[in-house]
Amino acid sequence: MGRYVYDFAEGNKDQKDLLGGKGANLAEMTRLGLPVPPGFTITTEACRAYLADGREPDSLGEEIDRHLALLEQTMGRTLGDPDDPLLVSVRSGAKFSMPGMMDTVLNIGLNDRSVEGLVRQSGGNERFAWDSYRRLLSMFGETVLGVHKDAFEDEIDRLKAERGAGSDLDLTADDLRELTRAYERTIREHTGRDFPQDPREQLALAVRAVFDSWNTERATIYRRRERIPTDLGTAVNVGTMVFGNGGMDSGTGVAFTRDPATGAQGVYGDYLQNAQGEDVVAGIRNTVPLHDLETIDKACFDQLMDIMATLEHHYRDLCDIEFTIEHGKLWMLQTRVGKRTAQAAFRIAVELVDEGLIDMDEALQRVTGAQLATLMFPQFNSEHERHLLGRGMNASPGAAVGKAVFDSTTAAEWAARGEDVILVRRETNPDDLKGMVAATGILTSRGGKTSHAAVVARGMGRTCVCGAESLDVDVKARRFTTSDGTVVSEGDVISINGTTGEVWQGEVPVMASHVVRHFEGDTSTDEATVRAVARVMDHADKRRRLGVHANADTPDDAARARRFGAQGIGLCRTEHMFLGDRRELVEHFIIAETKEEHDAALDALLPLQRKDFLGIFEAMDGLPVTVRLIDPPLHEFLPDMTDLAVLVAHEDDAGQADSKHHKMLEAVKRMHEQNPMLGLRGVRLGIAMPGLFAMQTRAILEAAAERMTAGGDPRPEIMVPLVATAEEFELVRAEIEKVAAEVNEEAGFEVPYAVGTMIELPRAVLAADSIAKTAQFFSFGTNDLTQMTWGFSRDDVESSFFSAYLDKGIFPVSPFETLDRDGVGALVRYAVEKGRAVRPDLHLGVCGEHGGDPESIHFFDEVGLDYVSCSPFRVPVARLEAGRASA
Ligand code: ADP
Ligand code: MG
Ligand code: MG
C-alpha cells in the first residue's frame, strides 16, 4: 500500500513524476528555506488510481485528513473554522507544465459562517472577506460544479454597471456580499444543488475535480500537441492561503529571472496590487511592471530579488515565479524552469555559460533544432511601405501574415481549408486553444507578457502580439477599430510582428532572418542572438560524429548548402536535367525506332547534363557529390495521355494527322501504369532503357574530368536508386565501370569516383549483405522505405486517413516526418549490420526527409550512420542536433 500524500517539507525538485512539477518545486523551495505557505501534495499515483478505478483509493481520504490535521496544527487554525478559519488552495500540477490547462480553486474553507470568521481574522476587513468568498463561489462553481463562467461574469458585470463601477476595486463590501448571494443563486439554478457549506466536502470535491480535469478536451489537445503521454495523471497541491486582496499593501505578481522573450538579463514581471490569484494573467485590471514594486514596497522587492537570484543559481536556468504579498509579507507560490522563445533559449544558454553556471555541453542540451528552425524563419521587410494599425507587447516572436478572425471556431475552420489566419481576441482563455493551434499568429488587445495568450503562444512557437490596447476589439461584430478609426473586419489581411509588437495593415513582405543572414556569411548582424547561435553551432560541430550533407540539385543550392555548413551533397537528383527544353529530347529518346534516332537523342542530352554537373562540382569542390541516376517513371516527362489523345483526334478530324503525335500517343499508352510508384522507375529504367544510365554516367565523369583539368577537386559518387537485388546493382555497376574506363582513356588520367546504392526497398534491406559486396556506399532513402514498408502512398495518405491515425494515436506523428524507429528504423539497423559485416568501411548515409528531422537524426547517430543529408535550410538544424546527439 503506497503513500498518496506528501508534505511540502518532504519532497524535492527531482520528484516530478510523483509530485508533479508544481509540487516538486514547492517542496524544493520549502527545502531551500524560502517563504512558501505550508501545505501538502497528493501524488500523481493517487490520480492514476482514481482515473483507473473511477473512485479515490480507499486510504486517500484518511491520509488527507492526517496531513490536514498536521497543517491545522502548524497554522494554529482549523479548516473553515467559523471563528478563525484556515483556508486552503487546491491546485493541479502535472509532471509537465500545462499552462492554463488545469484548474485552481482558492479560498476553500469559506462558507456562510467562516466568512464572518475571516472578517474578524482580518481585523474587520469585510470587503476582503466577501471578496474572497465570492471568488471561491465562482471558481468552485466553474471548476468543480461545471457552471459556465459566463454565468458568473454576467452577474459581476451587471452589478458593476448598476454601481457605475469601473473595476472590481470599486465594489464595496456590501456589493460583494450581494454578489456572493447572486453567485449562490447561480450555482443553485445551474446545478440544482447548493454550494457545499462543509469545508471538508469542498476540499474533497475540489481534489476530485482536479483529477477529472486531466481528461478535459483542452488538456487532451494540449498533450497531443506537445506529445505528453496521456497516462501520467496530475498531482494536487493543497496549500495554506495567503492573501493578496486584503488592501493596497498586498498584491500578487508573476516574475521571470530573465526576459523570456529575448533572453536579456534583468528582472521581468507584472504586479497587481490588492488582487488575488489569476487576476494578473487574466488581464482584468492593468498590471504594473515588476520594477514598480520597488517604490510600492521596497523591502518585499529586495527580498524578491534575492530569492530570484537564489532560484536561478539553484536551478541554473531561467525561472518563472508566482508570488503574493500579504500585508507587506512576501510569499512564494510557485517556481519552475521557465518557458522561453527560441531566441531567448540560445542567448540564455550561452550567458549562463559565461556566468559559470553551466558548460557548453549543457548549453547545447538547452536548445533544440526546432528552436533553431524558428529563428531561421523570415522576418518583415522594414523598408516596405506600410500602415501601422497599433502596437502591443512582443509576446512571442516571428512574422505572421493572415486573415483576421475573431473566434476559435472560425480560426479552425478557415485554417482547415488552407488559409492563414490571425486569431484576434481581447484576451484568450483555455477555450481558445483550438483556434490558437490553428492560427499562424495571435493578437490580443489586453493582457501582458504573462497573459494566457502570451504564455501559450510561446509554448507553441506561435507568433503573438498581446495587449495592443489601442485596438478596440469587438468580437461579436467580428472586427476591431484602431485609434485612427481604421476598421479591420473578419477576413481582412493583417501582419503581426511578435518580435517588435507591431501590427500592420495588409500583407507586409518578409525577408531573411538575422540568423540566416549570418549563416549566409553576412557579418553585419551582430545581435546577441546571432552571436549566441554561432557559439552553440561551433560547439555542436566540435562534438558531433555525424556528417551533414545536403540534398541539392543545382549549383546555387549547392553553394547555399555549403555556406550553411554542408560537407557535401548527399542527394543530387537528376530529374530536372530532363525537364524544360530538354523534354523534347526525352520524347525523341522514347519514340526512337532506330538505334541512330535513339543514340542521337542521348547524344543531344549529354553535353547539356555535363554542363549541369560541372556547375555543381565547382560549387562543391573538394567535397563528395552523390548523384542519383534518374529515378522517376518516364511518363512524368511525357505529355498527359488524355491531352494527347484529344490533340490527335482533333488533328485527324481536321485531316492534319501528325505521325509524331501518333507515335507519342502510342508510346504513352504503352508506358501507362496503374501504379507508377511501383512500376518502371529507378534501376529498372537503367535496365529496360539501354544507354540512359551510361549517358548520365558519362556526363558526370566527363564533367569531373573537365574540373580536374581546370585544377579542381571533384568527388563524384554515383548512386543507383530503387535497387532490390545484387544482380540489378551488378548490371548497372558494370555499365558504369565500362563508361568510366572509356572516360579515363579519353582524358588520359584517372577520374576518381565511387558507386553505391540507395536502400529504399525492404528487399534491399534483406539483401544488404550481398549488395554490399560490390556497393561502396548505402544511402537510405527513408521516404520510399517508409512508403514501401507501410504500404502507404506518401502522396495520398496525408490528406486521407492520416488524421484519423494521428487522432487515434496509432502513431504520434506522421512516419514520413519522424522515422518510425520500431519498423522502418529496425530495417535501417538491420541493413547497417548486414552491410558492415561484409564491408567494414561501407559508407552509410540517409537522404530522405528524415535526414533533417531532429528525432530521426538522434536515431541515425545511434545506429552509426556516417552522415545525414537534408535540404539546405535544414543543414544548420541537422548540425545542431547531431551535436546534441553526441554531447
Ligand atoms: P496555474 O497552474 O494555472 O499556474 P496555480 O495553481 O499556480 O495555477 O494557481 C493560480 C494562482 O492562484 C497562483 O498564481 C496564485 O496567485 C494563486 N494561488 C494559488 N495558491 C495560492 C495560495 N495558497 N495562496 C494565495 N494564492 C494562491
Ligand atoms: Mg490556471
Ligand atoms: Mg501558477
Of the residues 67, 452, 518, 539, which is catalytic? 452
Does one domain contain both 274 and 210?
no
- Within 8 A by CB and 6+ apart from 796, the residues are none
Q: Where is the domain boundary, 240, 269, 301?
A: 240
Q: Which atom of ligand 1 is nearest to the CA of 97?
A: 2
246 lines ligand 1 (CB under 6 A): no
Q: Specify the range with the lowest mean pLDDT, choosing from 80-89, 182-191, 233-242, 515-524.
A: 515-524
Does one domain contain both 257 and 216?
no
Does one domain contain both 696 and 752?
yes
Contact 185, 42 (CB under 8 A): no
Round to whole Å and give the CA distance between 23 and 29.
10
CATH of the domain at 38: 3.30.1490.20
pLDDT in tens, 166-191: 888 899 999 999 999 999 999 999 99
Mean pLDDT to the nearest integer, 465-493: 95
pLDDT at 281: 65
The top-scoring range by mean pLDDT among 145-154, 522-531, 757-766 is 757-766
pLDDT at 119: 96
pLDDT at 583: 86
804 within a domain of the structure (yes/no): yes
Cell for 49? 488510481
Helix (H) or strand (E) holding 511: strand 510-511
pLDDT at 2: 64
Does one domain contain both 578 and 488?
no
Q: Rounded to the nearest 5°, which phi and psi values hold at 393?
A: -90, 145
Round to whole Å and give the CA distance between 279 and 251.
10
pLDDT at 282: 65
Residue 435: Cβ-neighbour burial (10 angstroms; 0-12, 13-18, 19+): buried
Q: What percent of the chain has pLDDT over 90?
A: 74
Q: How confident is the model at residue 66 (pLDDT cuts 50, 70, 90)?
A: very high
Does one domain contain both 140 and 202?
yes
Q: How confident is the model at residue 99 (pLDDT cuts 50, 70, 90)?
A: low
CATH of the domain at 333: 3.30.470.20
Round to whole Å and give the CA distance between 696 and 722.
17
| Structural domain boundaries, residue 472 | 377-511
Does one domain contain both 176 and 204?
yes
Alpha-carbon dihedral 492, 498, 501, 507, rounded to 10 degrees: -30
Does one domain contain both 502 and 585?
no
Q: Where is the domain boundary, 174, 207, 240?
A: 240
Secondary structure letter of residue 469 according to DSSP: T
What is the total count of domains within the chain?
Answer: 4
Mean pLDDT to the nearest integer, 660-681: 87
Q: Where is the domain boundary, 511, 535, 552?
A: 511
Nearest CA to ligand 1 atom 22: 241
pLDDT in tens, 278-295: 776 666 677 899 999 999
Beta bridge partners of 809: none
How far is the centre of ligand 1, averaged over its atoms, from the C-alpha of 647 (Å)? 74
816 within a domain of the structure (yes/no): yes
Alpha-carbon dihedral 442, 443, 445, 448, rounded to 10 degrees: 60
Round to whole Å and give the CA distance between 632 and 585.
17
Ligand nearest to the CA of 242: 1
Q: Is 847 a catalytic residue?
A: yes
647 within a domain of the structure (yes/no): no
Does one domain contain both 39 and 154?
yes
Does one domain contain both 262 and 220?
no
273 lines ligand 1 (CB under 6 A): no
Nearest to 668 by CA among 693, 696, 646, 691: 646
Contact 236, 91 (CB under 8 A): yes
Does one domain contain both 455 and 324?
no
Helix (H) or strand (E) holding 205: helix 199-213
Instruction: State which of 25, 90, 91 you would mutate to test the pocket of ligand 1, scoring each by most atoms of that ligand within 8 A of its C-beta.
Output: 91
Check residues 666 and 377 and name the one with the higher pLDDT: 666
CB atoms near residue 315 (< 10 Å): 18
ipTM above 0.90, yes or no: yes
Round to whole Å and give the CA distance between 154 and 445.
21
- Binding site listing: 573, 628, 760, 781-784
Nearest CA to ligand 1 atom 11: 277
pLDDT at 492: 97
367 lines ligand 1 (CB under 6 A): no
680 within a domain of the structure (yes/no): yes
Distance linking the first and last C-alpha atoms of the chain:
41
Q: Mark 745-772 as b/e (b = at least 16 C-beta within 10 Å).
A: eebeeebebebbbbbbbbebbbbbbbbb
pLDDT at 798: 57
Q: Is the pLDDT of residue 799 over 70?
A: no
Contact 558, 620 (CB under 8 A): yes
- Binding site listing for Mg(2+): 760, 784
333 lines ligand 1 (CB under 6 A): yes
324 lines ligand 1 (CB under 6 A): yes
pLDDT at 276: 86
Q: Is the pLDDT of residue 100 over 70?
A: no
pLDDT at 746: 97
> How remote is the C-alpha of 582 from its chain's centroid?
42
Round to whole Å and give the CA distance between 613 and 696.
10
Does one domain contain both 149 and 109?
yes
CATH of the domain at 730: 3.20.20.60
Q: What is the mean pLDDT of the chain?
A: 92
Bridge-based pairing state of the strands 867-870 and 843-846: parallel
CA distances from 701 to 148, 347, 466, 726 (A): 73, 47, 59, 24
Does one domain contain both 773 and 866?
yes
How far is the centre of ligand 3, averaged over its atoms, from the C-alpha of 279 (Å)? 12
CATH of the domain at 485: 3.50.30.10
Q: Specify the range with the lowest mean pLDDT, choosing from 112-116, 236-240, 278-282, 756-760.
A: 278-282
pLDDT in tens, 561-595: 999 999 999 999 998 898 888 888 888 888 888 99
Mapped onto helix, strand or coil, the DSSP state of residue 840 is coil
pLDDT at 101: 58
Q: Is 572 a catalytic residue?
A: no
Of the residues 847, 850, 858, 870, which is catalytic? 847
User: What's the pTM?
Assistant: 0.82
322 lines ligand 1 (CB under 6 A): yes
Mean pLDDT to the nearest integer, 812-829: 92
Contact 510, 380 (CB under 8 A): yes
How far is the centre of ligand 3, averaged over its atoms, from the C-alpha of 607 (Å)? 68
Cell for 608? 547539356
170 within a domain of the structure (yes/no): yes
Beta bridge partners of 399: 497
365 within a domain of the structure (yes/no): no
Cell for 431? 477555450
pLDDT in tens, 521-569: 888 877 899 999 999 999 999 999 999 999 999 999 999 999 999 999 9
pLDDT at 328: 96
Mean pLDDT to the nearest integer, 634-653: 87
Q: How confident is the model at residue 450 (pLDDT cuts 50, 70, 90)?
A: low
Nearest to 105 by CA among 216, 211, 215, 210: 210
CA distances from 134 to 120, 128, 141, 153, 430 (A): 17, 10, 10, 12, 22
pLDDT at 41: 98
Residue 576: Cβ-neighbour burial (10 angstroms; 0-12, 13-18, 19+): exposed
Bridge-based pairing state of the strands 777-780 and 843-846: parallel
Contact 757, 823 (CB under 8 A): no
Mapped onto helix, strand or coil, the DSSP state of residue 9 is coil
pLDDT at 741: 98
